[in-house]
Structure 1
Amino acid sequence: MMVSAGMNPATGGSGTVMTANTSGENVAFLGTSVDGASGALGVSKAGKNTAALLSEPRMIVLYNDAGEAITSIAKSQEGAGEGGNITIRQPDGEGVFSAGYNAEMGGGDACVYRVRSRMCFV
């Protein structure tokens, strides 16, 4: 079967759609978040997540082959604004660069993180 649709077993009463490749491996998921309240879209390769789009907390995530999130684009968590943020991570998932909107500062912030230092432009 190339496409299957039905109830999401993790959240009873919500729907899900799975798409398989020619080998029968699931490569795409369209459904709900774990709590069943928000939408989620996932793409995978060889059984590992490669990308996800989550309606709450309004985020796009890219994963490396180890399954660690290495890039995220999301609604900014700083201040009360509705701006955006991008974070780049090293292979183990630790953030090394982040930039985004900061409503309290009236503009943007950008930070680079290194082993022994942090440099921010605010």
Structure 2
Amino acid sequence: MNLTLWIAAGLLAAVALAGGITKTFVPAQKLAQSPGGRWTGHTSVGFVKTLGVIEILAAAGLILPAALDIAPVLVPVTAVCWVLLMIGAIITHLREGEAKFIVLNLVYLALAAYVAWGRLGPESFTS
């Protein structure tokens, strides 16, 4: 189970890093024209970039605390925060009518819930 939790956290970290870099560094006009990025045309550039930075921090929070053995409890906390972020993403994509992205967000939500459950419970870093 420990291995599957590391894999799930690694996959989520990769997704968070890719999404965060994109939201932080790709121009807003280009994001708004990309698949799944229509919502960025209705929000401020600062909000989109802030989400990008949050996603980059989430990528770090899913891996580094446990890998460096510095406050590893931050891994499940980050996973819970990722669940909340995915709920927001699902609501946003529902408003835009982008069903395939909702399914993708549900997959990410399920992975994050698994990491949070596993790291708070049976495979806690503190036990």
Please state which band the TM-score falls in when normalised by the shorter chain.
under 0.3
Q: Which has the larger radius of gyration?
A: 1
Q: Which has the higher strand share?
A: 1
Between Structure 1 and Structure 2, which shows a larger proportion of helix residues?
2
Superposition TM-score, scaled by structure 1 size: 0.22
Q: TM-score, normalised by structure 2?
A: 0.22
